[in-house]
Structure formats: C-alpha cells, structure tokens
Amino acid sequence: MPANTTAPSGTTGSAGGKTGRKKGRRARLIVIVLVLALVAGIGYGAFWSVSTVRASYPQTTGSLKLDGLDGTVDVKRDSYGIPQLYADSDADLFRAQGFVQAQDRFWEMDVRRHLTAGRLSEMFGSGQVETDAFLRTLGWHKVAQEEYDDVLSEDTKKNLQAYADGVNAYLEGRDGKDISVEYAALGLTNDYKPAKWTPVDSVAWLKAMAWDLRGNMQDEIDRSLMTSRLDTKQIEDLYPDYPYDKHDPIVSEGAISSVTGKFDSEATASASLGSTTVAGATDGLNTQLASLSDTLDEIPALLGPNGTGIGSNSWVVSGEYTTTGQPLLANDPHLAPQLPSLWYQMGLHCREISAKCQYDTAGYTFSGMPGVIIGHNQDIAWGFTNLGADVTDLFLEKVSADGYLYDGKVKPFTVREETIKVAGGKSRKITVRETNNGPLVSDRDSELEKVGQKAPVTNAAPDRADGYAVALKWTALDPGHSMDAVFELNRAKDFTSFRKAAQHFEVPSQNLIYADTKGNIGYQAPGKIPVRLKGDGTMPSPGWSSEYGWKKESIPFDELPYEYNPERGYIVTANQAVIGEEYPYLLTKDWGYGTRSQRINDLIQSKIKGGGKISTEDMQKMQMDNTSEIAALLVPKLLKINIADKNVREAQKLLEGWDSTQEPDSAAAAYFNAVWRNILKLAFGDKLPKELRVEGECLNVPRADTSGPVDEQNTLVRECGRRDADTAQPDGGDRWYQVVKNLLDDQDSDWWKSPKSGRDTATETRDQLFARAMKDARWELTAKLGKDITTWSWGRLHQLNLKNQTLGTEGPGLLQRVLNRGPWNLGGGEAAVNATGWNAAGGYEVVWVPSMRMVVNVGDWDKSRWINLTGASGHAFSAHYTDQTDKWVNGELLDWSFGTNAVAHTTKDTLTLKP
C-alpha cells in the first residue's frame, strides 16, 4: 500500500497515531532517496540522471504538432522565458496558451485544481481529508460547474474548451516524470496519474481567488472571539473608524450612478449600521468560532494570509502630469510569496484583428486560466486591487436532526453526499447540510457537534439545547459571470466597454483602474455586494430570524462608485475606503486604513505641486517607497524617554536622525520594528484571548471563573495561543497604526497597563510601556542579530524565503533545499508602499509581497516595464525558475515588449505549433 506523501502549503494532516507517523517517515525516506538520485545521478533500482530531471523541460525551439489547430501558432520566448503567442483565430490562440502553460507549470495547475475541487487526498493521501471535506462543503467546483453549464456565454465556453484541449494535447502520451520532477517523486509513493484538464478546472480557480479575497470574515470571527476577554468598548478601540479626515477614499469626484447621478434613498435605507446580533446569542460561540478559525488556518491560502494584509497598490496618472503626455498606470498586488510565483507573464496576439481573432493583449495571468488578468491590449490598460467588500456573513443556526429553525418553523436541510477518494486508503463519505443561509461549515469539526450548553442567551434567542451551528453565506457560492469578464476586459476598447466587462466581474470584488490611448483615466468598483436586511455584517447574525439575511438583489452596478477623468488628474487605489461616509450602501466596515494609499497620494501631489512631471522612473521609485508611517509618529515619543540601561540607550540612539525609511541595511529600521512588535505585544497581544494569539506562546492568565483579587497561587492558569503565526493578532498592520494613534495622547489608558513579568515591573503609563518595549526589543535583537548593534540590519530580520508550494513546504529538509530558494534580505515593511508584509505577532519573516510590479506606458506600450516575483518556469532546475527574483528584490523592472517588432527584437527562442 502506498505511503502518504507530504501535503500542500497551508495544510496539516492529523497525526494518525504511531502507524501514520511510521508511514510518514517511510514516505520522507523515499523522497530523500529520490532527491539524492536526482541530484547525484544515481538511484536504487532505477537510473536517475540529469536527463531525468530535464525530461520535463519544455521544448522552446523548432516545431511541434498540436492536434486541433486550424493554423500555425508561433511561441516567441525572450531571454527570461516569457512567451508571446501569435495565432490567426481565438481557438488557436487559447489552445496554444493551454499547451504552453502546461509546458511550464502543469504541476502547479494540477495541485491547484485538486485544491479547488476538494480532491487533495487523491494526490497526497489521508492527511488532506479534513481540508477536502471543508472545501467540498463550500462547493467551489460544484458552483463552477453550474457557471459553465448555465451562466457563461458560448464564446467563453469555446475559449475555455480550446484552452483545455491545449493542456490535454500536452499531457497526451507523457508519463508523470515527463511532466515535472515532482511527479517523479510522487510516483514512488502513489500511483497517481494526471487526469485530463476540463474547462471547469479553470473556472474553479476564480473561486479560490474569491475565497482568499473574501473581505472581513476573519475580522468577524476575531471580534466574536474577543468577547470572551474584552468588553464592547475595548473591541471598538481595536477596530477604530476609518480616518476619513486623514486618508482620502478612492472616489472623491465624479458620478456614482450612471443612470440618475444620485441615489434612491428609499431603495438604500436598509443599509443601517450597528450591532447585528441578537443580544447574548454569540456569547457561547467561542468554541465554534475558534474551531472554525483553526479550520480556516488549515485551508491553503493561495493568495496570502487573509485579512488587511492582503492588498495591492495601483494608481494611474493623467498625461497632463506625466513626462510622456499619456497616462501612466502602476500596479503591484500584495500576495503570499510562493514558488513559482502565482503570476504567469504572457502575450496573446492575433496576427490580424478580426471577428475570427479578437485579441491583442499582454500581461499577467494564472497558470490554468485562459486570457490575461492584469495588463493591457492595444487600446486600454487596467489594474486590480482588492476592494475588500464584505461579501460573507456567518449565521448562527438553531438545528436539529429534522432541520433548522426559521421564523418559528423547522425547515429541512438541503443535503448532498460527497465521496472523498484517498490515495493509499479507503474513500471517505461526508454529508453536507445547507440552510437558506448557506452550508453549515461547523459540521466539519467534531468539536462543533455539541456546543453551547453553557452559552448565556436571552429570551430573544431560541433554546440553546446542543448549541448553535454556523452557516456561511457568501456571494461566490452563487453562479456568476466573472469568467466572461476576463475575456471582455481583454477585448475592451474604451471606458464604456471596460465598464461593461466590469459589470460581469462579480467575485472577487476588485478595484479596477483604467487608462486608454486617448488620454482618459478611470476607476470602477465592480462586484456582487450584498444589501443586508439588518445590521452591518461585523458579527455573526441570527439565522433563525427573517429580520436578518440579505435582500434578493445586490447593490445595483449603476449605483457602485466610479470615476472618469477626475479633475485632480490621478486615481489611487490601495485597499482604502472606496468612497466617503455619505454613500448610502454598506460596502464594508473593515477597510484597510489607507496608510499606503495616502502615502502614494502624497508622493504624487508633491511632484505635481512642485511643478514637475511624473515619469516611468518616478512610478517605479514610488513602488519601492519604504517609509514607515508609524515610525514617523512614534520615534519622537521614543526619543524623549529617559533610558538608564546603557545597552538599551545605545539602541535608542539608532533612532536619532533616522528618516523612517526601511532599507534592508538599516539598523534603525530593525530596532524600531522590534520596538513596535513589543509595544503591540505588551499593550494588546497579551490581553487577547488564546484563539488570537500565536500558537505555543503561553501566558499566566486569571481563571475564567475567578472573581476578586488575583492570587497567583490559586487563580492563574497557563494559557497558550492557538493561532497560526501568519494570521495571529496583533499583526501590526495599519489598523493597529490607527489603534495606537487614537490612544497615543492618553498616557494613562488602560491599554498601557502591563503586569509584572520576571524582573520587569508592571507598567502603568504609555512611556513606561514604551520603555519596557525598547528594553525587550534590545534583548530580542541581541539574541537574533548579536550584541554589537553595528552589525544589525532590517534585512537580516526581514527575510524572504520562496517555497515550492507542495513538497518544498512540508517535505523533508533535503527536498526543501532542492526545491526552495532564499533567503533574500528585504527592505520595506508592513503598510509601506513597498509592502513586504510581516506579522508582528508571529515574527519578522516576510509573509506577503508585491507579487509582481508593472508600470504601463499607455500608448507607447513597448516602453512599459514589468517584473515577476520568481520566473516563468515551475521546473525546479530551469534557468527561468527564479531568474527575475534578484531584480525584483532590487526594485528593477524588465522591458516589456508588446509590438511585433519589439517582440521580434527580444525573442531568443521560437517554437512553431503546427496542425
């Protein structure tokens, strides 16, 4: 029987007892033998050589036969292996795209489609059953199938089928080892064979995108969990209002409704704010929500840790203020660092535009998906950032064996059975139950079966009995047109056709920026965004009452914010509030707090007000801006504190004269960020419930049932954190900037009080806590970087490691060293424009990055520039595996050829695909 193999990134399997551990060790030993064989060219029972490793490398020159083509397709690759495709029909173009992406990235594509379908266990064994069960409960692949069958246009279906045909043409006749070295490893422990690609496999990827960009679901859980330790006022302190007076929203000029130019107050009056939950109904939910949060940590976050860290920068400047006289557009999405990069650079060109062949576009796409996601065509350019709309709600459900309670009556569940096939083991069957609010996600954890016996509830809530189940309502669980929108964007010619495409981009809800060759710039907020009957979606709602829930119709597209040629001459989107407080619909209560966006606004304004023009190089420099806003605010306070300890004083002096820029060689940046991390821990982190703190970090806290004075001998218990380090709180993002700003002038706030610890005395004031944080930071960095502060640097703390997203993450150390790359010492930081994010609760390692950067020179397309985090290839030993990374680290961009002559000039390899 095959042993279990390792799991994908972000997943962990159950221990499975001694037998499971023995199997795991056996699998690891097999993989180690394989790696030794691959590297050294020897093997046990088989001959492994360099030719075995290279067997999966793509053919990039000469010619190949590709069944189904109507004509020839040229695949021109530059010195970085980036392909530009030339064809005479849409079908040939997308068939070739599928073939070429499979050449470079099929292992990544295959793992991704198993994730989106809840079928990881078929590849990686029983350790993935729980993850698969949760994903089957969400039903991503089921909804994608419904979209393909019933919703998407015929043209979109044809393109998807052509793409799938191209992938399958590549797979035809190839064994696993001929596709990727990872299959060679997998083949020693599993008889898995890749199945044919289907159009639905491509559509389902949009559901994974939507999941990772789903908005405030984690905040909704976290606020509920905080009720076990904090009161309402304290929770409000930690989730302050958006600072509209300091940080500009995206839209401040122009129309909102393209139909009326105003709002229908009667239609939008339901967007009331305030608490959503029946009083007392969530008090007993900590067990459920903590377990749900643990389950969410198990799901691979393909785009990055969910929350305010997932973001992006994009901005566009009118030609009135540029050196080119045409718009310049920049974009850099902030996502999880992974190897290969999530993005795949590509050009899709019809040799002649016609009804038969409609595309001439280039940019960034995802392996496994046809078309271009972000980029430009011959007429327009566009970029994305996450809008962050609240498109998920958790509903408490009163359930029984017969169904769920709704308005005093028991309604039957919608039920479906799912079979999970397991490599090397027996198949598992699960039952998915759904209410009118969505699937019961609480069914996927044994701890959630009977909960809430002690939950304090009021008469407004039903009898608790066995507690409450938790259902997830999410816009992405309804079939939609987002795949149509991808192709419509690629063909758009002007702002009108761009907005028409945006209308179909329902999930995930994104900020779309725009520029065209006629000099116009614009912005559109698209998305299927719910209108709530009652409440604001910040806490779980009672599912048993029809007073809550969503209206049947979402916010009308014509009432979503947009701008076209605003008078100020530029548009900035960086996950800040979209529009001011006067907007009558509720988009979300959990915006990013606008630190990055305001810095970009300020940089643009300073250039314009100084009479200068913005160049492509200026846009590139802005993307690398390392300034720390929180440092600029706190350093003057820190320097005023009298420090007696000479070693701590020595570190404090690093901050004197520091300009708050976070260069990789900066000792001051290293020390400040360590101080910031310790301020957050002392003031907030140690006061949060265990469900939000880092797993394994333990504190002595008062017993829950203790009243009166705290006696260490009788009333303190050891309590350890439970949250994954990448998603723990306080994460140090710009929400925490705003929290500290609001408290900074109150020296005696209760948040500055911290108990005695070891030799440290208790703190009672802000400056006492800051002094203790400076001391703790000094000794933390001494342990990490050495006692000599002249050797300190931010980059030594703040490192990027690129990990292969399957065997390179959970595999044995030797295999990880073969598949992974790094470390690189980075500058930038949390909420800087150069957003190399780190989680202050978990440490300093980079957990999200500008996953690509581009600056589009509109109209003069061949002077545009771009860079990817890694490289074009997913093959671990390819020259194009990480050949862009060093340049990415240094803030460099590659020339981006688009026109036929420019592409010809930069072409290194040409492959002709023939019918």
Q: Please write down the HEC assignment for all residues of 170-182.
A: HHCCCCHHHHCHH
* 273 or 396, greater pLDDT: 396
pLDDT (mean) for 662-684: 98
pLDDT (mean) for 767-785: 98
* 321 or 760, greater pLDDT: 321
Would you state the pLDDT for residue 704?
60
Would you state the pLDDT for residue 26?
34
Strands (E), 318-445: 328-335, 343-350, 360-366, 374-377, 380-386, 392-397, 399-400, 403-406, 409-411, 414-420, 428-435, 438-439
Question: What band does 518 get if pLDDT is binned at 50, 70 and 90?
Answer: very high
pLDDT (mean) for 561-568: 96
- List the single range of 126-135, 683-692, 878-887 with lowest mean pLDDT: 126-135
pLDDT (mean) for 754-775: 94
Would you state the pLDDT for residue 716?
77
Would you state the pLDDT for residue 814?
66
CA distances from 666 to 658, 789, 905 (A): 9, 11, 41
Task: Please state whether the predicted TM-score (pTM) of the whole model is above 0.85.
Answer: yes
Query: Can you tell me the distance from the alpha carbon of 249 to that of 601, in angstroms, rounded to the nearest whole number?
Result: 10
* 740 or 183, greater pLDDT: 740
Would you state the pLDDT for residue 858?
98
Would you state the pLDDT for residue 17?
34
Strand order in the sheet with 399-400: 399-400, 403-406, 409-411
Would you state the pLDDT for residue 324?
97
Question: What band does 667 get if pLDDT is binned at 50, 70 and 90?
Answer: very high
**How many Å is the Cα radius of gyration of the chain?**
27
3-state secondary structure of 656: coil
Query: Can you tell me the distance from the alpha carbon of 101 to that of 151, in angstroms, rounded to the nearest whole number?
Result: 26
Query: To the nearest whole number, what is the mean pLDDT of the chain?
Result: 86
Question: What band does 293 get if pLDDT is binned at 50, 70 and 90?
Answer: low
Question: What band does 55 get if pLDDT is binned at 50, 70 and 90?
Answer: confident
- On the question of pLDDT at 394 being above 90, the answer is no
pLDDT (mean) for 572-592: 94
- List the single range of 455-459, 635-639, 781-785 with lowest mean pLDDT: 455-459
- On the question of pLDDT at 330 being above 90, the answer is yes
pLDDT in tens, 477-495: 999 999 999 999 999 999 9
3-state secondary structure of 911: strand
Would you state the pLDDT for residue 177?
83
Percentage of the chain beyond pLDDT 90 is 69
CA 886 remoteness from chain centre: 23
- On the question of pLDDT at 520 being above 70, the answer is yes
Question: What band does 461 get if pLDDT is binned at 50, 70 and 90?
Answer: low
- On the question of pLDDT at 785 being above 70, the answer is yes
pLDDT (mean) for 284-292: 54
Contact criterion met (CB below 8 Å) for 527 and 504 = no
The owner of tokens 């422990």 is: 189
- List the single range of 161-165, 270-274, 414-418, 807-811 with lowest mean pLDDT: 270-274
Taking the C-alpha atoms of 146, 152, 158 and 162 in order, what is their torsion angle to the nearest 10 degrees? Answer: -60
Would you state the pLDDT for residue 297?
56
Instruction: Give the closest residue to 125 by CA, choosing from 189, 58, 61, 178.
Output: 189
DSSP string spanning 161-230? HHHHHHHHHHHTT--HHHH-HHHHHHHTT----PPPP-HHHHHHHHHHHHHHT--SHHHHHHHHHHTTT-
Would you state the pLDDT for residue 877?
86
CA 174 remoteness from chain centre: 33
Would you state the pLDDT for residue 286?
52
Could you tell me which residues are beta bridge partners of residue 612? Answer: none
* 754 or 538, greater pLDDT: 754
Percentage of the chain beyond pLDDT 70 is 83
Would you state the pLDDT for residue 225?
83
Would you state the pLDDT for residue 861?
98
Would you state the pLDDT for residue 34?
45
CA distances from 694 to 108, 121, 367, 404, 691 (A): 30, 28, 34, 35, 8
- On the question of pLDDT at 455 being above 60, the answer is no
